[in-house]
């Protein structure tokens, strides 16, 4: 089998920003906060995006938003994902204090969740090219590098991937990411490579392929079938972030135990203890997916009331299952 690192790995040029690799970590609501993003970056991801943040909600600058946008000098380049449907709200968000540290703004035009689509946000925007164009143009007025993540259509009866990709480029987008499933497929089924390939053939800006990548074999197949400029890992990055090291040829010295303990250290350094524990428990739950006999320990983990207690349980879970995780 071809090695991704030997065949397809390269730096990624997005507008005036260069990422060290063309293997990216997707924005995932509830998970891709600063500690997790930094873990992915250290393992080889060229970019890791924030959780999706409401463009309209940024004006309130509440505590939850501050947690989502926490970053520091070690994270560079920085990429934030915004969700919304009002061009002026996007422009305000891009020019505001909350996103001042972020050089890249990704616009969510692919979220298929019903309450998001019902609000005219996420996937709903692929049905309204003029509005989607105005949103991209509004973000570009901030001077930031702008990327767009979208799906090829609401269903297979109306695929708009080529015209939507061209609209993104014409409106000023510096890169697009295409999730290879239609909205009605949600997160199930094989990605449809021809849709991503159609986007790549339609534009000159970088095209990133997303959907269903769970192994190096999947990543190589995605590149071969689509001609994309890079790939974006989503949910599998939560289960096994070491995939970034494998794809980029980084030395794989880490174990899930060492990674989760580093997550605990980093989370404690930037969040209060309650928020830090909440994050570590969620990430540890994904890490445990392929481990055997951890049900009771998982229940114990969620019952932990202090980081010290949580660390002790994590040592038992991952320390006793090192062979099972391989």
Catalytic positions: 111
Phi, psi of 289 (to 5 degrees): -55, -35
How many angstroms separate the CA atoms of 316 and 304, rounded? 13
Phi, psi of 19 (to 5 degrees): -95, 145
Q: What angle do CA 199, 200, 202 make, to 5 degrees?
A: 65
Q: Could you say which DSSP state residue 291 is in?
A: -
Q: Which of 189, 190, 248 is nearest to 222 (CA)?
A: 190
- Partners of residue 158 on adjacent β-strands: 155
Q: Kindly state the tokens that stand for 92.
A: 């305000």
Q: Could you say which DSSP state residue 97 is in?
A: S
**SS3 label, residue 177:** strand
End-to-end distance of the chain based on CA atoms, in angstroms?
20
């Amino acid at each position: 089998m071809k090695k991704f690192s030997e065949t397809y790995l390269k730096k990624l040029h997005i507008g005036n920003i260069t990422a060290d690799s063309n293997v990216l970590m997707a924005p995932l609501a509830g998970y891709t906060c600063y500690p997790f993003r930094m873990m992915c970056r250290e393992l080889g991801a060229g970019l890791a995006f924030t959780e999706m943040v409401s463009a309209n909600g940024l004006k309130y600058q509440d505590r939850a938003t501050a947690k989502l946008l926490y970053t520091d000098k070690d994270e560079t380049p920085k990429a934030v994902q915004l969700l919304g449907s009002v061009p002026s709200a996007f422009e305000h968000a891009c020019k505001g204090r909350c996103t001042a540290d972020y050089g890249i703004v990704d616009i969510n035009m692919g979220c298929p969740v019903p309450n998001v689509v019902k609000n005219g946000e996420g996937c709903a925007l692929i049905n309204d090219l003029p509005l989607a164009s105005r949103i991209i143009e509004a973000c570009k007025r901030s001077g930031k590098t702008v990327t767009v993540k979208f799906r090829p259509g609401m269903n297979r009866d109306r695929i708009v991937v080529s015209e939507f990709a061209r609209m993104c480029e014409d409106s000023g987008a510096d890169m697009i990411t295409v999730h290879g499933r239609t909205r009605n497929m949600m997160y199930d089924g094989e990605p449809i490579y021809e849709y991503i390939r159609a986007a790549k053939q339609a534009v000159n800006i970088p095209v990133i392929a997303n959907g269903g990548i769970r192994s190096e074999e999947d990543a190589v197949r995605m590149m071969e079938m689509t001609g994309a400029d890079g790939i974006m890992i989503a949910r599998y990055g939560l289960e096994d972030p070491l995939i970034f090291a494998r794809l980029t040829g980084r030395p794989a010295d880490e174990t899930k135990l060492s990674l989760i303990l580093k997550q605990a250290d980093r989370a404690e350094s930037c969040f209060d203890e309650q928020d830090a524990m909440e994050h570590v428990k969620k990430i540890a739950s994904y890490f445990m997916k392929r481990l055997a006999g951890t049900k009771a320990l998982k229940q114990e983990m969620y019952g932990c009331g202090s980081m010290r207690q949580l660390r002790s349980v994590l040592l038992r879970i991952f320390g006793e299952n090192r062979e099972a995780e391989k």
